[in-house]
């Protein structure tokens, strides 16, 4: 029985690129089902797409993960396939696959995809999602080839890692970072509930967050409905991280948040909780 291919990219939906990759897989292995995990990630943003794959993989059917966010396409960067307890991961060796591979238990075999018989002939080298990665995903998912037939083996420890920021506990505060902003404007951070617990904070407490020189006082709640319409809040999101949100609004717009922005979480110094409608500083 053919495995499922879960496909993620930064190709967007305006051009034909996503459909072409589907078409290549269907022509090689028409029995293979393809799930579109997402294709509207920022162009060339490897970290954002890698984190999306990391979040998604635990909910995807075991099989083949085809991920193509590849600002180095056509250069000497390697194209790889990694075999894990979950299945196979196929994509560029630029850190895109590394977090999800680690999440599912690591790779016991990795190859550099180089077999010319298992790729589409093309004059250009800038659409390897079509010419290299899609054929590899199709033959692996359908069982027409094994990982060893894709190309020469390489040590798993040579796969390019993705460096993710760690939470820094200093001066009684927790300094983290916005990892991503979702479609609704909610900002997920790398801060976990345990990091706030280390500050002596608990769900239901007020927390001061500092964004640059400006601070805002928000309540740590379980759900959006626990605060008034338009108020800001902190909550544990569906992936277990602390997220910043605004009920009925966009936290990214109200607080000028974006990926990679540093956030300091602290115990409140006093005063009233600030409603985000007015975006008043708590300093």
Tell me whether residue 58 is exposed, middle or buried, using C-beta atoms within 10 angstroms of its C-beta: 0 to 12, 13 to 18, 19 or more. Answer: exposed
Residue range 144-175, pLDDT digits in tens:
999 999 999 999 989 999 988 999 999 999 99
Hey, how many other C-beta atoms are within 10 angstroms of the C-beta on 219? 17
Predicted local confidence at residue 270, as pLDDT: 57
How is residue 162 written in tokens?
């993705």
Task: State the DSSP string of 191-235.
Answer: --HHHHHTTT--TTSEEEEEETTEEEEEEE-SSGGGS-TT-EEEE
Q: Euclidean distance between the first and final Cα of the chain, in Å?
A: 61
- Tell me if 80 sits within 8 A of 97, measured CB to CB: yes
Predicted local confidence at residue 280, as pLDDT: 45
* Domains, the chain, ordered by start: 4-158 (3.40.50.10790), 168-278 (2.40.30.90)
Predicted local confidence at residue 278, as pLDDT: 41
Chain centroid to Cα 219, Å, comes to 26
249 DSSP assignment: B
HSE-up of residue 71 (Cα within 13 Å, Cβ side):
11
- Tell me if 49 sits within 8 A of 96, measured CB to CB: yes
**Is residue 181 helix, strand or coil?**
strand
Residue 232 sits at φ, ψ, to 5 deg, of: -80, 160
Which stretches of the chain drop beneath a pLDDT of 70?
270-283
Work out whether strand 168-170 and strand 4-9 pair parallel, antiparallel, or are unpaired: unpaired
Chain centroid to Cα 282, Å, comes to 32
Predicted local confidence at residue 74, as pLDDT: 85
CA distance 48 to 140: 26
How is residue 23 written in tokens?
């078409």
Residue range 189-215, pLDDT digits in tens:
999 999 999 999 999 999 999 999 899
Predicted local confidence at residue 126, as pLDDT: 85
CA distance 201 to 267: 7
Predicted local confidence at residue 269, as pLDDT: 74
CA distance 102 to 86: 11
Predicted local confidence at residue 113, as pLDDT: 97
């Amino acid at each position: 029985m053919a495995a499922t291919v879960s496909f993620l990219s930064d190709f967007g939906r305006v051009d034909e690129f996503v459909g072409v990759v589907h078409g290549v897989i269907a022509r090689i292995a028409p029995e293979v089902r393809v799930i579109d995990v997402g294709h509207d990630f920022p162009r060339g943003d490897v970290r954002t797409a890698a984190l999306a794959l990391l979040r998604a993989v635990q909910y995807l059917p075991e099989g083949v993960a085809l991920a193509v966010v590849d600002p180095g396409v056509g250069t000497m960067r390697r194209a790889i396939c990694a075999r894990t307890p979950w299945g196979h991961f196929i994509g560029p060796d630029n850190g895109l696959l590394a977090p999800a591979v680690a999440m599912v238990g690591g790779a016991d075999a990795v190859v550099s995809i180089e077999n010319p018989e298992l790729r589409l002939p093309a004059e250009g080298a800038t659409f390897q999602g079509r010419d290299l990665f899609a054929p590899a995903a199709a033959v692996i998912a359908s069982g027409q080839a094994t990982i060893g037939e894709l190309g020469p083996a390489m040590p798993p420890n040579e796969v390019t890692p993705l460096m993710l920021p760690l939470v820094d506990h200093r001066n009684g505060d927790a300094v983290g970072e916005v990892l991503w902003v979702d479609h609704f404007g909610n900002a997920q951070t790398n801060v976990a509930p345990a990091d706030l617990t280390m500050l002596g904070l608990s769900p239901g407490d007020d927390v001061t967050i500092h964004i640059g020189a400006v601070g805002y006082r928000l309540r740590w709640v379980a759900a959006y409905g626990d605060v008034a319409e338009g108020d800001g809040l902190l909550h544990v999101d569906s992936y277990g991280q602390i997220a910043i949100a605004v009920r009925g609004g966009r936290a990214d717009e109200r607080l000028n948040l974006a990926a990679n922005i540093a956030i300091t979480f602290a115990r409140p110094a006093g005063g009233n909780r600030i409603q985000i409608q007015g975006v008043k500083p708590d300093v």
